Amino acid sequence: MTPEEFANAADVSRETMERLRAMDAVFLDWSAKHNLVARSTIEDRWHRHYLDSAQLVPLLPDGIERIVDLGSGAGFPGLVLAACLTEKKVCVTLIESTGKKADFLKAAGEAMGIDSLKVLPMRIESVKLPKPPDVITARALARLDKLLGYGAGIQGQNTKYFLLKGQDVGPELTEAAKSWHMEVIRHQSRTDPKGPGAGTILEIGNLVRAQQ
């Protein structure tokens, strides 16, 4: 997929594409020296990573102000969401404990010129936020039960989760249901809707820890 094909598929503005191209330049530069993503996926990054992240945008609730991305790594989906939601003045906070990856996120954010983007170079368990996020996102970070445990420490009463997962997420949901009460909507991934690698987006709300 080319950047132009991505722009059409994701229906993003010219300004958003300028920010994403700026991110991509930093991403390629850093990827030549550090393992931000699997090298086999870099050639098809506009489909595998950028579109995979951008497909969250139309699913997000209207009127949100704050997004927190857990374990942001190479910036997917956090940096992509920040690029897509700049005009809506959504503040995106990226949490990444690995120093080199946090440095990359800061460098990419500066290149993109997004003032509302924040990078917290710390473990998720240590994060204290002034206000709870409206949305929590994560991609390829941990099993669902552990992810929800991370999020529970920073979520608010109305926080929703949008988690990029593989197709075979059923066992993770079964496991998580032992510890959490939640409302779940499963969205099929646009980037890989069929086959063994097909993806699922979990939309989770009303998360409450179950009584033990």
CATH code at position 101: 3.40.50.150
CA separation for the pair 132, 17 (Å, rounded): 29
Beta bridge partners of 136: 68, 161
With a CB cutoff of 8 Å and minimum separation 6, the contacts of 74 are 27, 31, 36, 37, 49, 101, 104
Decide the pairing of beta strands 118-120 and 91-95: parallel
How large is the angle between the packed helices 3-10 and 14-31, nearest 10 degrees? 130
User: Does residue 191 carry a pLDDT above 90?
Assistant: no
Give the tens place of pLDDT for each residue, 5-42.
Answer: 999 999 999 999 999 999 999 999 999 998 888 888 89
> Phi and psi at residue 151, in whole multiples of 5°?
-65, -35
Q: Please give the residue range of the domain that contains residue 186.
A: 3-209
Beta bridge partners of 203: 162, 185
Give me the number of domains the chain comprises. 1
pLDDT digits (tens, 9 = 90+) for 94-120: 999 999 999 999 999 999 999 889 999
**156, 133 in Cβ contact below 8 A?**
yes
Q: Looking at residue 98, what DSSP letter applies? A: S
What confidence tens digit (pLDDT) does each residue in 166-182 have? 877 889 999 999 999 99
pLDDT, residue 197, reads: 46
What is the percentage of the chain residues whose pLDDT exceeds 90?
A: 82
Confidence (pTM): 0.92
